[in-house]
Amino acid sequence: MIFMNSMEIPSSSIKPVISLNPSTASFELQFQRPSSPWLELCPDAPKDSVEPCHFQLINQREKIHRIRPLRSFPAEITHFVSPSEIWVRLLNHIADKLTISTNNAPNLETNIVEGIYVFTPLNENILVRARVIFNDCKKKQILLRLIDHGKLVWRDENAIFEMKSKKDEMRKYPWQAILITLQGVIPENGVCFYFYRFTIF
């Protein structure tokens, strides 16, 4: 049995080694897989149209692949939300190398839309890779997923920096954070995970 007692596991201070067994694709991507095509509404098509003739086939899109482990591996926990959302990294991750000094920050991103990849501060010294999840135009704040740490963070517009080119070196490496879900987990009190105490059978 494993008991987890804390309300929050800071990604920067706790790095327990655990054994995991996700069950998809290859252990570690050595190259970028080709993008999958998808349909997109043509610019001159009526808004909200569902007619096939109003769509175009897109063969390329902005994408950074993820590590998809095939077998068990030792890992460190970087961010804990609930038993159904735990972010981990391989022990030989390269997240520390996928950063930019704030002294060498690229230009601010001027076209902030959902799904694009950007840089944002992790602290006052470094910028890390992130993906735009939501742009709150009214509050001028952007919800980001730190793809090498797993955390969701809110940032002001002046803290969103462009990831210059689709051929940028930073795009060649997959997300270092890996999402896992625990199975067979129940709250200790049988009701909720308020204190994140749970038992694994």
Is residue 119 classed as helix, strand or coil in its secondary structure? strand
Degrees, nearest 5: CA angle 159-164-167 = 140
User: What is the distance of C-alpha 182 from the center of its chain?
Assistant: 18
Q: What DSSP assignment string belongs to 93-145?
A: --GGGSEEEGGG--PBPSS--TT-EEEEESSSSEEEEEEEEEEETTTTEEEEE
Whether the per-residue pLDDT at 183 is higher than 90: the answer is no
Please, which residues have CB within 8 angstroms of residue 77's CB and are 6 or more apart in sequence? 9, 11, 14, 15, 16, 18, 86, 87, 88
- Return the higher-pLDDT residue of 16 and 118: 118
Q: What DSSP assignment string belongs to 142-195?
A: EEEEETTT--EEEEEGGG-EE---TT-GGGSS-BS-EEE--SSEEETTSS--TT
Percent of the chain at pLDDT > 90 equals: 38
Which tens digit of pLDDT belongs to each residue from 79-132?
A: 988 888 899 999 999 999 999 999 999 999 988 988 889 999 999 999 999 999
Furthest CA-CA distance within the chain: 59
Is residue 85 classed as helix, strand or coil in its secondary structure? strand
Whether the per-residue pLDDT at 25 is higher than 50: the answer is no
Q: What DSSP assignment string belongs to 14-69?
A: ---EEEE---SS-SS-SSPPPPPPEEEE-TTSPTT---GGGEEEE-------B---
Task: Give pLDDT, residue 191.
Answer: 67
Task: Give pLDDT, residue 200.
Answer: 39
Which tens digit of pLDDT belongs to each residue from 33-56?
A: 555 666 777 877 887 888 888 777
Whether the per-residue pLDDT at 8 is higher than 50: the answer is no
Query: pTM for this one?
Result: 0.65
Task: Give pLDDT, residue 27.
Answer: 36
The length of the chain in residues reads 201
- Return the higher-pLDDT residue of 10 and 180: 180
Confidence band of 30 (pLDDT split at 50, 70, 90): very low
